[in-house]
Amino acid sequence: MRILSALFALVGMLAISQAAMAGDAMHKIAFHVDQNDPAVMNLALNNVANVRKYYQAKGETVQIEVITYGPGLNMLVDDTSPVKDRIAAMSLEDPSLQFSACGNTHAAMSKKAGHDIQLIAEATMVPSGVVRLMELQEQGYSYVKP
């Protein structure tokens, strides 16, 4: 009888630890934006919101990064971004959400404009958007291009 009780207790503890581990699951996803198109930018942000909502409902965590380069960098340019307010609101809801701006593209845009292009406060400059995407994939991030 004691062995049976001990076995039931062990099975119960395993079930509890598996449930706890499921709640600690970490998912990682990188979204790539390389077009100066408000529809593409909004689609990327819709994808971000949907992924976040899905994993929140499951009690799981997800690390999300949006990487912009080429014409897509306009998503993060302070005075022209058509989604600047939406990014600000989403970043307040999820402080771990990262928006990465390609340093190569930023330098080229700044040179062409004749002055430093200002990015939104939520943007983090990375040396190269393409390299950043590659590094994230090497770290196990899923890749999505809306």
Answer yes or no: pTM beyond 0.85. Answer: no
- Reading phi first (left if > 0) and then psi (alpha if -120 to 50, else beta), residue 116 is in beta
Cβ atoms of 100 and 126 closer than 8 Å: yes
* pLDDT for 3 beyond 70: no
* pLDDT for 5 beyond 60: no
pLDDT tens readout for residues 89-144 = 999 999 999 999 999 999 999 999 999 999 999 999 999 999 999 999 999 999 99
Amino acid residing at 23: G
Distance CA 127, CA 122 (A): 16
Q: Where exactly are the structural domains of the chain? A: 26-144
CATH code of the region 26-144: 3.40.1260.10
Distance CA 130, CA 146 (A): 16
* pLDDT for 145 beyond 80: yes
Residue-averaged pLDDT of the chain: 88
Give the phi and the psi of residue 77 in degrees, each rounded to 5.
Answer: -80, 125
